Amino acid sequence: MANLKEIKRKISSVKGTQKTTRAMKLVSSAKLKRAEEIAKRSKVYAAKLTELLSEIAQKMQQNNADGIDNIFFQENKNPKKIDIVFVTSDKGLCGGFNYQTIKRANEVMAEYKNSDVEVRLSGVGKKGIAFFKYNQVEMINEIADLSSKPNYEASTELISTLVEDYVAGKTDKIILIHNGYVNMIMQKVSQQQLLPVDVSALDLSNSVSMSEIEIEPDDNDELLDALVKKYVEYSMYYALLDSLAAEHSARMQAMDSATNNAKDMVKKLSVKYNKARQEAITTELIEIISGMESMK
Amino acid sequence: MKLLKLEIVTPDGVIFDDEVKQVTLPGSEGEFGVLADHAALVSLLDTGVITIDRQDNKEVSVAINGGYVKVEEEKTLCVVDGAVALSGEDTHLAQAIAEAKELLERAQSSSMTIAAAVSKVENIKKR
């Protein structure tokens, strides 16, 4: 019967898909291990850098009652123009990973647009860029092939143009959105205000005897400027690493459920196949028997 | 002799975390040494070489391409952009020195600072 053949073909096709998804899951889990390791190591550096920055910021806050007298710390209460940077993946097949980031970016954008703030969008990763292009949202930076291979120089290049605009007073805020790695089965969208540095978000609790600290070079601003720039650059780079680890874990999960779905499908199709086969045999038997009956 | 805790962190992870006797750092305003109970200090670091006096009186050098240091009375924390440790056996050392030179030459400092740092690294080889 033709139906029988068709089911057989379907089964083998689903089995083929299952093989692919299983292989992709294995590849992702291997890549995840590496990405996770790199992200973990960078986390130490990021934490120490933040610690250093927060201590200096705190010291300067003590010296100056009305907050820190530095462009990187002064918040403009009525922002006119802000930058949003989002990080998505270059490749698909990773479930809702990119969609979550895009959704958050859209929400933040809408929020600012409602209060008449101009929003500039910068995108990293083909998937997010494709989405916003399709929806005809203009982007000032479109950077592909960076989120799959994070590179410090390239990420610095992107963020430093935005920082320059901020210093020149063209923009009032820089927000970074990416989907970060929590553990094997969880990702979390994180939204971070890069500039102005959000002093309240820095942990100021564990610093000691900071009032007596000496700062070299004597010009506090020089050190602070350098430190803030580094902080922003590194936050950007870390977002890329974090996003890559999250991407792999999301893909692993997606491919795992795809493999399971394929398994279920094969099971269902096999049952269907067996039923059809039995039906065919029954029909054949009936034909033979009725043929014999008519011969009598 | 009182020891101080030294930690050197790079984007690739922690490369040094131990108690040492003394450490010499390439500050942006000039080289300075740190012993235990040093006054609190935060400084920019230039491209150069960190020299560490270990507890067993051995000297370890680490080539860096700039960063920051935070000195507290008990603890010194260096946050650097890139670092190559110069220690170990002869064959390892030669390789490390080559890597260190490459790192230094890529750094974005004045040519004079880089030259000084490179010559320092080369001196380690001769010792």
Mean pLDDT, residues A54-62 taken together: 74
- Which residues from chain A sit within 8 angstroms of residue B13, using beta carbons? 41-42, 44-45
**What integer pLDDT is reported at residue A30 of this predicted model?**
93
- Which residues from chain B sit within 8 angstroms of residue A208, using beta carbons? 72
Least confident span in A33-47, A164-178, A266-280, B102-116: B102-116
Q: Considering its fold, how many domains does chain B have in total?
A: 1
* Euclidean distance between CA atoms A119 and A121, whole angstroms: 6
Q: Find out if CATH 3.40.1380.10 is the number for domain A34-253.
A: yes
**What integer pLDDT is reported at residue A290 of this predicted model?**
94
* Euclidean distance between CA atoms B70 and B38, whole angstroms: 11
Mean pLDDT, residues A194-214 taken together: 64
**What integer pLDDT is reported at residue A101 of this predicted model?**
93
pLDDT in tens, B42-82: 888 888 889 998 888 888 888 888 888 988 888 899 998 88
- Residue B77 has its nearest CB partner, among A48, A208, A210, at A48
Would the CATH topology of A2-22+255-295 be identical to that of A34-253? Answer: no
Strands A141-143 and A118-124, sheet pairing = parallel
pLDDT at A57 over 90: no
Would you say A165 and A83 are in contact if contact means Cβ atoms under 8 Å apart? yes
- Residue A216 has its nearest CB partner, among B7, B29, B79, at B29
* Euclidean distance between CA atoms B15 and B100, whole angstroms: 14
3-state secondary structure of B33: strand
Strands A186-195 and A214-216, sheet pairing = unpaired
CB proximity A227 to B under 8 Å: yes
Identify the residue among A38, A42, A51, A52 best suited for mutation to test binding to B, counting B beta carbons within 10 A and taking the highest: A52
Q: List chain A domain ranges.
A: 2-22+255-295, 34-253
pLDDT at A63 over 70: no
Average pLDDT of chain A is 86
Q: How confident is the model at residue A77 (pLDDT cuts 50, 70, 90)?
A: confident
Mean pLDDT, residues B110-120 taken together: 79
Q: How confident is the model at residue A283 (pLDDT cuts 50, 70, 90)?
A: very high
3-state secondary structure of A19: helix
Least confident span in A67-81, A199-213, A280-294, B39-53: A199-213
**Chain B residues within 8 angstroms (CB to CB) of chain A:** 7, 9-14, 27-29, 39-44, 68, 70, 72-73, 77, 79, 81
CA distance, residue A71 to nearest chain B CA (Å): 20
Tokens 């006797």 belong to residue: B21
Q: Which carries the bigger pLDDT value, residue A86 or residue B116? A: A86
CATH no., domain A2-22+255-295:
1.10.287.80
Residue B101: CATH number of its domain: 2.60.15.10
Residue type, A84: I
**What integer pLDDT is reported at residue A218 of this predicted model?**
66
Would you say A207 and A58 are in contact if contact means Cβ atoms under 8 Å apart? yes
Number of cross-chain residue pairs from A and B with Cβ atoms under 8 Å apart: 71
**Which tokens go with A130?**
């494709």
Q: The pTM is what?
A: 0.83
Spell out where B28-74 has E strands: 30-34, 41-54, 59-71
Percent of chain B with pLDDT over 90: 11
**What integer pLDDT is reported at residue B125 of this predicted model?**
65
Question: Which residue of A lies nearest to B69 if distances are taken between CA atoms?
Answer: A52
Would you say B120 and B99 are in contact if contact means Cβ atoms under 8 Å apart? no
Q: How many CA atoms lie within 13 A of A13 on its CB side?
A: 7
- Residue A41 has its nearest CB partner, among B12, B41, B72, at B12
CB proximity A34 to B under 8 Å: no
Backbone angles phi and psi of B78, in degrees to 5: -105, 125
* Euclidean distance between CA atoms A119 and B47, whole angstroms: 39
Q: Which carries the bigger pLDDT value, residue A54 or residue A172? A: A172
Identify the residue among B29, B41, B42, B73 best suited for mutation to test binding to A, counting A beta carbons within 10 A and taking the highest: B42
Would you say A46 and A195 are in contact if contact means Cβ atoms under 8 Å apart? no
3-state secondary structure of A1: coil
- Which residues from chain B sit within 8 angstroms of residue A209, using beta carbons? 40, 72-73
Least confident span in A31-35, B20-24, B38-42: B38-42
Q: Could you list the residue range(s) of the whole structural domain that residue B30 is in?
A: 4-126
pLDDT at A278 over 90: yes
ipTM: 0.78
Question: Which residue of A lies nearest to B8 if distances are taken between CA atoms?
Answer: A45
Tokens 């990702």 belong to residue: A187
**Which tokens go with B24?**
């010499």
The β-bridge partners of B76 are B6, B71
- Which residues from chain B sit within 8 angstroms of residue A52, using beta carbons? 42, 68, 70, 77, 79
Percent of chain B with pLDDT over 70: 92
Percent of chain A with pLDDT over 90: 46
The angle formed by the CA atoms of residues A79, A83 and A89, to the nearest 5 degrees, is: 150
pLDDT in tens, A215-268: 766 666 777 888 888 889 888 999 999 999 999 999 999 999 999 999 999 999
Q: Do A227 and B68 touch (CB under 8 A)?
A: yes
CA distance, residue B34 to nearest chain A CA (Å): 14
Question: Which residue of B lies nearest to A208 if distances are taken between CA atoms?
Answer: B72
**What integer pLDDT is reported at residue A228 of this predicted model?**
87
pLDDT in tens, A137-162: 888 888 888 888 888 888 888 999 99
CA distance, residue B97 to nearest chain A CA (Å): 24
B50 burial level (CB within 10 Å; 0-12, 13-18, 19+): buried
CA distance, residue A261 to nearest chain B CA (Å): 39
3-state secondary structure of B94: helix
Mean pLDDT, residues A260-288 taken together: 94
